Amino acid sequence: KNEVEQSPQNLTAQEGEFITINCSYSVGISALHWLQQHPGGGIVSLFMLSSGKKKHGRLIATINIQEKHSSLHITASHPRDSAVYICAVTPRGDTDKLIFGTGTRLQVFP
Amino acid sequence: NAGVTQTPKFQVLKTGQSMTLQCAQDMNHNSMYWYRQDPGMGLRLIYYSASEGTTDKGEVPNGYNVSRLNKREFSLRLESAAPSQTSVYFCASSELRAPNSPLHFGNGTRLTVT
């Protein structure tokens, strides 16, 4: 069992829909990261959070430390949101490393 | 502000050939990383360097060597490439020990070993 699991693995949506991507982890963490990777492109950090909620534009990330769960929400989705979204955690006590999920591939159709 | 610069973008090697992937960052980060990304798997850590002059093995270090030449540069070397090393390689840098310090990635190197 992976220490960081994401669901769903693949997601398709119509433009304008509200999207939720989930991440569950099994280790104690000091931080959780959400990353975005466009096809053939590099990887960009979207959020780094250790509690509560963060918002940037149409993207919202939440984390529940007790339940070891985080969600990434996209409001009013757009085709340019099509990408792979990756969850990663910084383990508590080993802050030089990250453990990555396998990613959620999102396609938003017009 | 270049961030993390990684070269080359693409490379094809024959089995047994050697090559070095170069990475440089201009954000004065202490920590630098080399990852590989394979289909259906999460990013896997090959080697990392928590500070200038130190390097440590990650999850999949076999077949690779690294050099932290100075604070800016962290190179990854394949001494004798194998087809199993066909992958996309990413360099990254951060100050993960600092709060609110995200990871910054290079654009990746797509390596094919035939």
Give B42-101 pLDDT, tens digit per residue.
899 999 998 898 999 999 999 999 999 899 999 999 999 999 999 999 999 988 666 667
pLDDT of residue B99: 62
Separation in Å, CA of B49 to nearest CA in chain A: 9
Average pLDDT over residues A11-33: 96
Find, among A82, A104, A85, the residue nearest to A35 by Cα: A85
Whether residue A102 lies within 8 A of chain B, CB to CB, comes out as yes
Average pLDDT over residues A24-38: 94
Do the chains contact at B104 and A86, CB–CB below 8 Å? no
Residue ranges of A 15-54 with Cβ closer than 8 A to chain B: 31, 33, 35, 41-45, 48, 50
Average pLDDT over residues B6-20: 96
Do the chains contact at A98 and B103, CB–CB below 8 Å? yes
Q: Percent of chain A, pLDDT > 90?
A: 82
Q: Is B11 exposed, middle or buried (0-12, 13-18, 19+ CB in 10 A)?
A: middle
Find, among A61, A79, A69, A63, the residue nearest to A20 by Cα: A61
Q: Which helix (H) or strand (E) holds B10?
A: strand B10-13
Give A8-20 pLDDT, tens digit per residue.
999 999 999 999 9
Q: Which residues contact A105 (CB under 8 A, 6 or more apart)?
A: A9, A10, A11, A84
Residue with tokens 């780094």: A48
Do the chains contact at B48 and A43, CB–CB below 8 Å? no
pLDDT of residue A74: 98
The overall average pLDDT reported for chain A is: 93
Confidence of residue A97 (pLDDT cuts 50, 70, 90): confident
Average pLDDT over residues B22-43: 92
Q: What is the DSSP string of B45-57?
A: EEEEESSTT--EE
Q: Is the pLDDT of residue A58 over 80?
A: yes
Q: Is the pLDDT of residue B1 over 70?
A: no
Maximum Cα interatomic distance, chain A, rounded to a whole number of Å:
44
pLDDT of residue A42: 87
Q: Which helix (H) or strand (E) holds B6?
A: strand B4-7
Do the chains contact at A88 and B43, CB–CB below 8 Å? yes
